[in-house]
Amino acid sequence: MPGIIHYLTIEKVAMHGYGLGFADGKAVFVPFTMPGDCVNVNVRIEKKDVIFGTVAEYIDASDLSQQPECDAFGGDNACGGCDWLMAPYRTQVYWKTELIKQVFEPLKLQDRVKPCVPSPQPQHYRNKSFLPAGKSETDLYFGMYERYSHNVIPHKSCLLQPPVMDEILQQIVSFARTAQLDPYNETTQKGVLRHVGIRINKAQDEILLILVTKGSKFPFTKQFVQTLTTRFPQITGIIQNINRSVGNVILGDEDKLLYGSPCLNDLLGGVKYRLHYKSFYQVNSATAEKMYSHIKKSLKASDTVLDAFCGAGTIGLYVCGSVKAVHGVEEVPEAIADAEYNRQLNGFSNAEFHLGLVEEVLPALMRKHAFTAVVLDPPRKGVDTASLMAVASAQIPTVIYVSCNAMTLARDLKTLLQSGYQVEDITPFDMFPQTWHIETVARLSLPEENRV
């Protein structure tokens, strides 16, 4: 196979945001392309049956193609934040439904997949962003990593996050330029600024600013705080997080509170939430409300619910007023502290939260409570085997599995199917518009005849 493939027709979309075509009997995956595109492709990686490439030239564009509104999208040195800005939003939502059907076809569950629920806000939806710092020959900037690399692609505006985030970043750039703060260099391991994180609530009247630095020294701290809070009075907390490691993990274990509070207050579906800056929270608040309402409708007033991997209690507390009781389990201390605080804040007396690993806490809880429903909301790696088997052994009648990784969801559903459960429906939610990423909720039941 030569170094370039000429006149490749893209036939479908694939996971990870690729367009898929075929050449000489091999599948060819190309980012920033869509069905109907005809492209010349630079071969990047070639294996026995598959090729990964990049666009060398667009010969012809799909009839559905639209002009992206971002200068950093597609082509050489493209930002890796978006995959599908060239496609109309309704087309993106259709693609996501079809991708989820493909994932579950081997389990013969494709007919259980419902149409993807679109985001009420296709742009500027992110309530959290962590952006790495970079530096050109003349200036410091923030941006997103280029695909396949740690090269930071600069941008002054982003279609995924609220404009106020871009304004804050530009203010930080201006301050860093004056204070001569250099970005951290992964090669030399020198420099101060590694990342800037911004979290914002739904009303956009509270903002947390997180500065991730290589060491504890951060010059002109008072001036920095005064400059940012004067310009942006909605900033309610500024945290310096110190990451001394040489790896690519964003946050370190040390932090300093430079201003205000390390927590943010938000309101979803009438439920109040306080969130520590390290606590997990869905990045798209409007879609999260739709998803949580879907989960609530899947539960009964008589249910005693186990909320596994509960984080700050967002799902458990959202459904708390509609069920008999909720017991949440989470391993992150800050998140459990948020969950307990939020329980008291909302006056819920029928919820309890437990700190620990799900697989370790679960057996004791199941001996004390007759759970009739469990909500699983694990990280991307899915549910560990021990926890999954504990749920299956307890024969909890209803399982609701929330997943940001359809592949691990399919793997775990296979285990539950083998344990006697049946899948009622699988509903994708577009938590991440303009990207290929999909949040999926599967609802399972255990028929009476399959219970021991």
Catalytic residues: 404
Token reading at 327: 């017991």
Q: Decide: residue 302, CB within 10 A, 0-12 exposed, 13-18 middle, 19+ buried.
A: exposed
Find out whether 37 and 90 touch, Cβ atoms under 8 Å. no
- Residue 332 neighbours by CB under 8 Å, 6+ apart: 278, 279, 280, 311
Residue 340: phi and psi, rounded to 5, are -65, -40
Alpha-helical runs (H) found in 118-162: none
Lookup result for tokens 């990423």: 437
User: Measured in whole angstroms, how far is the alpha carbon of residue 67 from the centre of its chain?
Assistant: 26
Rounded-to-integer distance, Cα 429 and Cα 424, Å: 16
Rounded-to-integer distance, Cα 263 and Cα 115, Å: 36
**Cα angle for residues 385, 15, 150 (degrees, 5° grid):** 90
Token reading at 372: 């009739």
Find out whether 372 and 397 touch, Cβ atoms under 8 Å. yes
Q: Are strands 439-445 and 373-376 parallel, antiparallel or unpaired?
A: unpaired
Instruction: Name the residue type at position 411.
Output: R
Q: Give just the sign of the alpha carbon dihedral 400, 404, 408, 411.
A: positive
Rounded-to-integer distance, Cα 209 and Cα 175, Å: 14
Find out whether 322 and 299 touch, Cβ atoms under 8 Å. yes
HEC string of 422-441 equals EEEEEEEECCCCCCCCCEEE
- Residue 365 neighbours by CB under 8 Å, 6+ apart: 306, 327, 329, 354, 371
- Residue 187 neighbours by CB under 8 Å, 6+ apart: none
**Cα angle for residues 279, 15, 285 (degrees, 5° grid):** 30
Strand partners, 326: 305, 351
Strand partners, 7: none
